[in-house]
């Protein structure tokens, strides 16, 4: 007799931050793997465009506005997701953006805004989606972290602090959820080509990159694609029950050396 029942054939998934970048790529990857998906972000129009593309390709997708910094928005999103697709089996927490500034120069409100989105927002998703998973004795929640946790980068201290909090929360949940059948996992990307940081002005971007080179953060010029990170998320949630990929770090491969 198997230790665990297999995953059900139909595993509805929600993706927070699905309007672009890693979130959009993850929603597409999960849909391609057969998951009905709910796409959530503040830019609901972008989510609907992707949902329409998924449906046109034969998948099942639904878009709904989501601002993880707003408790009422998360509550409404969770209710709409359940109404649209039924009990949610997979949650991917990846909403957020990257603000730049030296810690001693940014205001506390700006610092708190990063923590509110990346960390508190992730917990809002947990509070709505994980208790029903525990009641059903199965489910996956995946937190998108960052390799700035083990290797902090200057000019992004609020983001670094928030992502450290996310990983601390996820590791605590791994202990608290042990024996429930619910898996909490961390996917930790390295440098990834997304829209994050694209709103920085030229002076800020130049200062940040100069500092990162000084501290050895730019070993080579290659970046991950969002689809590379999405593939890791899809692998985590597809892992048969009885095994748990607790932390997966994804880094860009360096260019081939001259032979």
* DSSP designation for 85: H
- Cα 54 from Cα 191, distance rounded (Å): 27
Characterize the bridge pairing of strands 247-250 and 182-189: parallel
* 204-230: burial string, b at 16+ Cβ within 10 Å, e else: eeebbeeebeeeebeeeeeebebebbb
Q: Exposure of 64 by Cβ count < 10 A (0-12 exposed, 13-18 middle, 19+ buried)?
A: buried
CA distances for 187 relative to 14, 108, 227, angstroms:
16, 28, 13
Any catalytic annotation for residue 222? no
Enclosing H/E stretch for 250: strand 247-250
CB 29 within 8 A of CB 230: yes
Rounded Cα gap, residues 38 and 58, in angstroms: 15
Q: How far is residue 152's CA from residue 22's CA, in Å, rounded to a whole number?
A: 20
Give residue 234's Cα distance to chain centre: 12
Q: Where are the alpha helices (DSSP H) in 116-154?
A: 121-136
Catalytic residue among 77, 111, 143, 159: 159
- Host H or E run for residue 185: strand 182-189
List, by residue number, the catalytic residues. 159
């Amino acid at each position: 007799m198997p230790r665990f029942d297999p995953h059900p054939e139909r595993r509805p998934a929600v993706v927070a931050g699905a309007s672009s970048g890693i979130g959009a790529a993850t929603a597409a990857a999960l849909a391609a793997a057969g998951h009905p998906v709910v796409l959530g972000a503040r830019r609901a129009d972008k989510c609907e465009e992707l949902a329409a593309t998924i449906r046109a390709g034969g998948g099942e997708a639904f878009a709904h506005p989501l601002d993880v910094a707003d408790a009422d928005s998360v509550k409404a999103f969770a209710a709409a997701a359940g109404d649209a697709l039924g009990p949610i089996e997979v949650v991917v927490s990846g909403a957020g953006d990257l603000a730049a500034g030296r810690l001693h120069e940014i205001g506390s409100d700006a610092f708190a805004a990063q923590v509110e989105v990346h960390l508190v927002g992730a917990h809002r998703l947990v509070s709505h989606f994980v208790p029903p998973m525990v009641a059903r004795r199965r489910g996956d929640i995946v937190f998108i972290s960052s390799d700035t946790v083990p290797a902090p980068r200057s000019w992004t201290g609020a983001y670094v602090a928030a992502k450290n909090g996310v990983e601390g929360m996820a590791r605590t949940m791994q202990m608290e959820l042990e024996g429930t059948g619910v898996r909490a996992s961390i996917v930790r990307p390295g440098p990834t080509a997304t829209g994050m940081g694209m709103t920085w002005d030229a002076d800020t971007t130049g200062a940040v990159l100069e500092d990162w080179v000084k501290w050895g953060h730019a070993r080579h010029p290659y970046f991950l694609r969002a689809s590379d990170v999405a593939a890791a998320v899809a692998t985590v949630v597809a892992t048969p029950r009885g095994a748990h990929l607790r932390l997966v770090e994804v880094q860009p491969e360096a260019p081939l050396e001259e032979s």
